[in-house]
Structure 1
């Protein structure tokens, strides 16, 4: 069941988005002026020429000339103010300037008409108030259409960038890993092999033991140990592709097919239709007052409702058919109101035609614009969902990349620490512990050097058997901590396909159980490994150790989890401590 917060959150987001659209500086464009011109020209024709039954060409000249003031206002506002302060959104100021532009246009019509002698009753208060209202209304409509278009295109561009990164990552990550691994091995060889060769040459002279000892100490202290520290601390960087292709041209056209029933907005369409006529009914005092407005609202709503539910809610219509059907439905609903205007209101023919014109204008434009907005919102939501999915895929690709790098580093550190360093340390110890360097000691030292050289050339493709690793872990802690392990069959199949994931799971569990015993004195621990999705594993380790401290000092184990996991969490739950980690796994 949805909570009130879950229900109201989309409304708040929609309201916030609307405020952003209206406050956006990008709304002030040439398209806005064209939109203003077309709609206000139609309104001027209905309110001036049709209502007074005066179709002299002078009216068209007056109407055209009256667009100069709002054009000048818009250009000055954009060039002198908006272009100099692009970062901010100005909700109230944009509405104020839109109102000023609309009022200036209406007042200009009145002045030019009075000057031309074609209108003696200019209704100045109505021209100012009505012009300001129409300026705001048309600006808001354009802002919604323009804002939804820009947001849709921005989402589309983000999706394209992410998909480009994802495709490139899948193509180039294997090559990057090979270069990284081979580069690390080559760097180690270049650092160690000359030292080993130098030591061999010094061993040729038995009296040069002191120089051999110094060279061994130098190799251990200044070559191997710093290199191990650097390898352990280095972090694999998430994959990023450079020089992404920019969009040269992007179209925000409607999709080829879409469902229509959910795009026909009954409430707002009926409200805007009634609003377009009710203003004039109020000015010219309709015979039945508010009842006429209610009748117009109801008639339009019922007719549009019939059309809305005459089509399937799931069927996707071709784009042209959907637009044509919406247009026909809105024309029919508006025509029903025209019939009511002619038969019931009883105005003279000029004013009846004016009312009918407003009914058709607002009744047809509103559903089309609302349908366009609904389609774009739906498409943007689909794109945002795809963006989220692709971002998750990219995160998992990066996680797999980090796993491979981490596993290679871990194995290489084991080689340096367990083989190279131990071999050179053994050679150093032999020379230091023997007062006389005999041929036998020299031979043993040379063997140690050979072992170190062989280790650097080793192939790091060892396969980790998770079952064996977990069994060994139970044996290590037998009698100290009772360890229970559960691995689902789905998780087992995924782990068997990826030696890197097997290695990582083994290390995570080892680290978690070791910390539980060493830091929490745990005597019981349970490991549950499951496959929560096709490409991710969940690892859960619970123990009965001491409660976590208020401030946890995270160390090497947390660094490992940060490197190789999609996410992890350590928390105190009642009488147990729980570590949860999510690990990407190869499909």
Structure 2
């Protein structure tokens, strides 16, 4: 068991939230109440009366039904649906059910002739308190378990989404590339056919006009449309939920699973009614104080001694209940010394109840541990999904940039160059016309296989940005050498970083009118790094309509923000740094 996967220490706030959760009146809570209800009715009542087993069984059944009925009625008004926690209301419901239970059993004892001295106090005070503590404990256990199963189911679904998304990234990129190529081909080919028709004519002016029209009216607008297009990142047909089982840890740290204060507090709540029934008021108070002290002090000592002791989980199922129940065996010695009225059989019953309480508390802690581990794993899966989504967004953006660059660069250049060549040639020969057509076809062939954009290393391109503005703005760039090499070795990440840094610097100068800009790139962790740009320009206009630059920032970064402090504007973005390209 690692330090990271220790169970949370229970706090009053967390326990109250669990008591008031939507699971407090669920079927598992009602079924768990069978244990204390029949335990008291069959085992403890045997030690205080001479009633038959059949009578005790009937009495326990009536008491259980009398408790469950008001809880079922309350559930009609508080269904098991997501809602804010209402611990005070649920505790009132529990206590009310306990009072109804006490009144019912009191009336049953009178009608059956089994009424005993102290029965009224035992039923009307002990009944509500016993029921309240029992149902609180049940609600905590069930809430932990239900939330753990929900987290586990969500983890399974997210893992499957991660697998689907990981397998589908390359397919989605290939699909986008094919869609872009098809779109560009469908728009450019008609213009190229028109050019080919004019090449067969004798009019150089017609050829020149068709070449320039293709460049200005088709290629240039199309390159802009491709560069600024939107890509759908939603993955269809992903399962919404998958249920899996989680394995119990093989070993646990014993001291981390001991909660002596809460064990002692709940023990007092469960045993107060029987103690008051069996002992005189003053002696009952002394006994309750001894119960709390014995459990708390012994538990704290064992907790301190075993705070780093790992034991098998199966052994912990035995040891933890014994830690809580063993100190109460002192009452075998204290009973004659204090002249207590309780019998040895009643002390044994108390030990059995304490063992049961210990089992429930250990189960609640174990489930809470599994829930925390599941939550941590879920966070890790979500982080991986964020990384994959960001990488996919960068890859799709780069695909568009490649296609737009081909349109804006080689294809447009080929058209313009051909037009200029035709304008300078009075009588183009058939060989020259063939060359013009071949140049255009060669440029168009690149659309079918747009290679990855190659660039120099990251720092050299950043320095080119710096030199570009050197005449009017001072731009400073800081990046660790190792990080610069790692980014450069990732072409996709390098292209995205260059584009994002260029956009942030341009924003500072164009919109903020800055005279000094500092670019700082630092590593956050093995998979993330940050790009921070600060400037001395003026604050940007609040509420301005987001433009293409905002789209670039949203697509290329995990997250980004722009803040203003004094005379300094700070733009900050986090990006993905992976070992392998998507």
TM-score (norm 1): 0.84
**More displaced, 441-450 or 533-542?**
441-450
Query: Is the contact made by 1:423 and 1:449 (CA closer than 8 Å) also made in structure 2?
Result: yes
| 1:483 corresponds to 2:475 | yes
1:275 to 269, 275, 284: 269
Post-superposition Cα deviations, 1:495-548, rounded to whole Å, max 9, x if no partner, equal 132111111222223233333333334333332223222222222223333444
Which position in structure 1 is the counterpart of 2:226? 231
- Supply the distance in 2 between the matched residues of 1:208 and 1:482 (Cα, whole angstroms): 50
| 1:293 corresponds to 2:305 | no
Distance 1:22 1:230, change over 3 A: farther
Matches within 5 A, 1:5-404: 17-45=14-42, 48-55=45-52, 57-78=54-75, 80-82=76-78, 86-88=81-83, 91-119=87-115, 121=117, 123-124=119-120, 126-206=122-202, 213=209, 217=213, 220-221=216-217, 223-225=218-220, 227-238=222-233, 240=235, 242-244=237-239, 246-248=241-243, 250=245, 254-283=248-277, 284-288=279-283, 290-311=285-306, 313-347=307-341, 349=343, 353-354=345-346, 356-357=347-348, 359-404=350-395
Distance 1:230 1:136, change over 3 A: farther
1:409 to 400, 408, 412: 400
Query: Is the contact made by 1:203 and 1:209 (CA closer than 8 Å) also made in structure 2?
Result: no
| Residue aligned with 2:532, SS | strand
Query: Is the contact made by 2:158 and 2:378 (CA closer than 8 Å) also made in structure 1?
Result: yes
Question: Where does the alignment leave 5 or more consecutive residues of structure 1 unmatched?
Answer: 1-9
1:534 to 520, 526, 532: 526
| Residue aligned with 1:370, SS | helix
Query: Is the contact made by 1:98 and 1:132 (CA closer than 8 Å) also made in structure 2?
Result: yes
Query: Is the contact made by 1:300 and 1:337 (CA closer than 8 Å) also made in structure 2?
Result: no
Q: Which has the higher contact order (CA 8 A, sep 6+)?
A: 2
Distance 1:381 1:524, change over 3 A: same
Aligned-pair Cα RMSD in Å: 3.5
Distance 1:192 1:34, change over 3 A: same
Question: Where does the alignment leave 5 or more consecutive residues of structure 2 unmatched?
Answer: 1-7
Query: Is the contact made by 1:195 and 1:219 (CA closer than 8 Å) also made in structure 2?
Result: no
Report the number of matched residues. 567
- Supply the distance in 2 between the matched residues of 1:538 and 1:44 (Cα, whole angstroms): 65
- Supply the distance in 2 between the matched residues of 1:237 and 1:316 (Cα, whole angstroms): 50
- Supply the distance in 2 between the matched residues of 1:410 and 1:447 (Cα, whole angstroms): 25
**More displaced, 14-23 or 360-369?**
14-23
Q: Give 1:60 deviation, angstroms.
A: 2.9
- Supply the distance in 1 between the matched residues of 2:174 and 2:415 (Cα, whole angstroms): 28
Post-superposition Cα deviations, 1:202-255, rounded to whole Å, max 9, x if no partner, equal 43233697699579747853x54554344233334446463327445646x742
| Residue aligned with 2:537, SS | coil
Q: Give 1:150 deviation, angstroms.
A: 0.9
Which position in structure 2 is the counterpart of 1:6? none
- Supply the distance in 2 between the matched residues of 1:506 and 1:370 (Cα, whole angstroms): 56
